[in-house]
Amino acid sequence: MLSRLLKRTPPKAKPAAERIHLVAGRELPLKIVENDRARRLTLRIAPAGGGLRVTVPPGFSAREVDRFLERHRGWIEERLKKLPEQPLVRPGIKIPVRGVAHLIVHEPGTRGTVTVATIDGEPALIVNGDRRHLPRRIADFLKREARREIEVLVARHTSAVGRKAKAIRYKDTTSRWGSCTSDGVLSFSWRIMMAPPAVINYLVAHEVAHLEEMNHGADFWKLCERLCPDTDRCKAWLKRNGTALQAIRFAH
């Protein structure tokens, strides 16, 4: 019965894996990831300011995570101030398609379609259907354009390196523009269709080069530059402008 007399220490409350964190007047999605190899808490802000990610060693409590976030509140607020605005796709604003600004025009109709047109000499995207679905329809339009263009570029570059892609996937990622798995699956953010054609080509060349070199060593960059001679310029463009493209919201 001795065990009954011993005072038990209540277990630490584990932090919720995902929740909303209020900072600088914004409600940001907060993701808490437990990592066995982590030795300290680390904090990361999504490139477009769309959320926070805290990596914690095993055993950290929700209270410890809250204290960590409070200590870094000033740092988070300063970083958020430097991020671009997050405009919601809506009629009257312009978004780039292949690097060219297009005016969004809503024309209610029976079918929800997106048409590329010219209005008063300026490129435009005419969106039919219910106004509520306009952001999603433009996102779907960009996805279709990505499939059409990227698959051609993948075929061209894989032919050049003598490799085949196992599959091509399209995502809306906030941490990277593309990826290549060890078994040859290529993934691309469909948002890249807002970048100029040369940058789209660079991204595809970059990921196809990983089919040959699964690293970012000297041989990888030589291959990348052979596939895309504009590698340095396009890489710099994406670093300079990519965050703004990631910040555009296609949902309320």
- pLDDT tens track for 63-79: 899 999 999 999 988 88
Q: How far apart are CA 198 and CA 110, in angstroms?
A: 37
HSE-up of 3 (CA within 13 Å, CB side)?
A: 0
**Per mean pLDDT, which range of 7-11, 166-170, 191-195, 233-237 is the poorest?**
7-11
Q: How far apart are CA 140 and CA 129, in angstroms?
A: 14
Q: Which helix (H) or strand (E) holds 247?
A: helix 231-247
Percent of all residues in the chain with a pLDDT value above 90, rounded to a whole number: 60
Domains of the chain: 9-82 (no CATH), 94-247 (3.30.2010.10)
Provide the greatest CA pair distance for the chain: 88
pLDDT mean over 230-243: 93
Is the pLDDT at 146 greater than 70? The verdict is: yes
Q: Which residues of 202-229 are buried (b: 16+ CB within 10 A; e: fewer)?
A: bbbbbbbbbbbbeeeeeebbebbeebbe
The pLDDT confidence band at residue 227, using thresholds 50, 70 and 90, is: very high
Digit-coded pLDDT (tens) for 44-62: 887 666 688 899 998 888 8
Cα dihedral sign for 84, 89, 92, 93?
positive
Q: Which amino acid is at 34?
A: E
State residue 8's pLDDT score.
46
Percent of all residues in the chain with a pLDDT value above 70, rounded to a whole number: 89
Is the pLDDT at 212 greater than 50? The verdict is: yes
Q: Are residues 207 and 180 in contact, defined by beta-carbon separation less than 8 angstroms?
A: yes
Main-chain dihedrals φ then ψ at residue 238, nearest 5 degrees: -65, -35
